[in-house]
Amino acid sequence: MWVKNLLDVCGKELKRTLSDVGVLVFFIIVPLLYPLLYAYLYSREVVHEVPVVVVDECRSTTSREFLRKSDATPDLKIVSYCSDMEEARNLMRRHKAYGVIHIPAEFERTLSEGRQATVNLYCDMSGLLYYKAMLSGCTIVSLDMNRDIQMQRLSGLSDWEKDAMTMPIENEYITMFNPTNGFQAFLIPAVLILVLQQTLVLGVAMLAGTENERRRSGALILGEEYGNPMVVLAGKGLAYLLVYGFTATYVLCFVPWLFHMPQLWQLPTLVAFIIPFLLASIFFAICISFFVRDRESCFLLFVFVSVPLIFMSGISWPTSNMPAFWKVLAQLFPSTHGVNGFARINTAGALLQDVRIESISLWILTGVYFMLSLFIYERMYRSDKMPGVEFVMAMRTRVRRDIRVAARDIKEAGQELKEKLEQRKKN
């Protein structure tokens, strides 16, 4: 009996979803296009050929060699040679260049005396990637030239120099899981997960808003006639899960493939992880949709949340360095666990046991939000009001009353003070 009811609710909800253009925008169009736009935005991964200007006060063969080699790196591009720093600064002000390579006059002489010579790099800090490009470009050149200089000096061969040459230990750098060390492979997995959660929230909230608008004009809400909130909730959840089965496949598998991003996932792991993520997101969405009074307010209430949510996931600013309060709050959102799990499954080839903590957290969130929705549904069936909106209204009344009371207290205190001052004056 309840299975039939459940499927009944699921079918009706599917029909309602698929016939509502506003909801389809969130469930299909945004997940279809938005990830493409984002991935396209970062498709070049890193910044190449950052324009820099040169102030070469040395004008020697060595300084010219340094500059030629810097220009040849993929990171930098010399756009102009300036006679002094003022001219260079002017070009930076006009956004013609993002850095200055300054070679001091004594550069060559210092080198020939066997002491350490310095090259000064001034860098515009409006984007950290300019800094990174300048640092890595010039470091490569200096390492290269240092080796040549050492070799030259060794041809003169003194014992201690020879000894030292054999000693230094080289080092090499290997970036794991994001071979180009680029922006796309790092940010897009997080964006994809967030798009799934946020479109679910917006779509479900829009459905709930519509329902509430109708309810205000006396209509029954979906499934009320079955009298069993658990069945209604499960039916709705199943309907959304069916839709998002397709959406998630497209977003998480097709988009990264299209942009040739690293995709190291194993199918069983991915499926076993994404199902609890979708379930947690669905019941989370149902839960907060109770705060929505009409169709369009979901935009104003939930869109901005995406911005802090992506930072809460720890994909950008490391979790290990977040204040405890935000760390705890972040646990309440499926996206936090979803981003961390998916980034590692997709980009680092992690298996289910490697993301055990995230996976368990998502199951717990699923349970918590399911129970919470159940509780709210029960109350909703019993009364005509919307518990979420009711709660906000009550809070608002209370805050307003508190403010009024505080204002009155302040006024009274002020009057008392005034009276006292007047009395003192009289005395």
Footprint of other proteins on residues 223-282 (CB under 8 A)? none
> Of the candidates 15, 59, 153, 385, which one interacts with other proteins according to CB under 8 A?
153
For residues 220 and 357, which CB has a smaller minimum distance to other proteins in the complex? 357
Of residues 74 through 93, those in contact with other proteins by CB under 8 A are 92-93
Q: Do the Cβ atoms of 315 and 289 come closer than 8 Å?
A: no
Relative to beta strand 76-82, strand 99-103 is unpaired
Q: Does 324 bind other proteins (CB under 8 A)?
A: no
Q: How far apart are CA 70 and CA 66, in angstroms?
A: 6
Answer for which of 72, 105, 393, 413 binds other proteins (CB under 8 A) is 393
Give the per-residue contact string, 119-138, with other proteins (x = CB under 8 A; - = no).
Answer: xxxxxxxxxxxxxx-xx--x
Q: Give 77's strand partners.
A: 51
Among 72, 84, 96, 150, binds other proteins (CB under 8 A): 150
> Which of 299, 328, 406, 407 forms a contact with other proteins (CB under 8 A)?
299
Binding to other proteins in span 58-77, by CB under 8 A: 66
Would you call 93 exposed, middle or buried from its count of C-beta atoms within 10 A (0-12, 13-18, 19+)?
exposed
4 binds other proteins (CB under 8 A): no
Q: What is the dihedral of CA 411, 412, 413, 414, to 10 degrees?
A: 50
Tell me: does residue 316 bind other proteins (CB under 8 A): yes
> How far apart, in Å, are the Cα atoms of 219 and each of 292, 374, 387?
17, 21, 17
* Cβ neighbours of residue 20 closer than 8 Å, sequence gap 6 or more: 206, 207, 210
CB of 3 to other proteins, least distance (A): 32
Q: Which of 159, 218, 267, 425 binds other proteins (CB under 8 A)?
A: 159
Residues 398-427 that bind other proteins (CB under 8 A): none
From the CB of 323, what's the least distance to other proteins, in Å? 6
Token code pair at residue 73: 């790196």
Query: Closer CB to other proteins, residue 32 or residue 149?
Result: 149
Size of the site for other proteins (CB under 8 A): 112
3-class state of residue 397 by DSSP:
helix
Alpha carbon distance 277, 386 (integer Å): 27
Burial (0-12, 13-18, 19+ Cβ within 10 Å), 329? middle
25 or 372: CB nearest other proteins? 25
Q: Give the whole-angstrom CA distance, residue 398 versus residue 409.
A: 16
Helices 334-347, 183-216: inter-axial angle, 10-degree rounding:
150
* Interaction between residue 114 and other proteins (CB under 8 A): yes
- What mask of x and - would describe binding to other proteins in positions 172 to 211, judged by CB under 8 A? xxxxxxxx-x-x-xxx-x--------------------x-
Q: Which is nearer to other proteins, 6 or 194 (CB)?
A: 194
Cα–Cα distance measured from residue 213 to residue 297, given in angstroms and rounded to the nearest whole number: 12
Positive or negative, the Cα torsion across 310, 311, 317, 321? negative
Structure tokens at 421: 């001052």
Question: Segment 14-53, which members bind other proteins (CB under 8 A)?
Answer: 21-22, 25, 37-38, 40-44, 46-48, 50
Indicate the residue type of 293: R
x/- mask, other proteins, residues 93-112, rule CB under 8 A, reads: xxx---------------x-
Burial class (CB in 10 A: 0-12, 13-18, 19+), 102: buried
Q: Rule CB under 8 A: is residue 363 a binding residue for other proteins? A: no
With contacts defined by CB under 8 A, name the span among 80-88, 245-253, 297-305, 366-374 that binds other proteins. Answer: 297-305
Is the CB of 289 or the CB of 340 nearer to other proteins? Answer: 340
Among 83, 96, 118, 254, binds other proteins (CB under 8 A): 118
Nearer to other proteins, 179 or 268 (CB): 179
Nearest-approach distance from CB 22 to other proteins, in angstroms: 5
CB of 322 to other proteins, least distance (A): 6
* Cα–Cα distance measured from residue 157 to residue 43, given in angstroms and rounded to the nearest whole number: 50
Interaction of residue 115 with other proteins, rule CB under 8 A: yes
**Under rule CB under 8 A, residue 303 binds other proteins:** yes
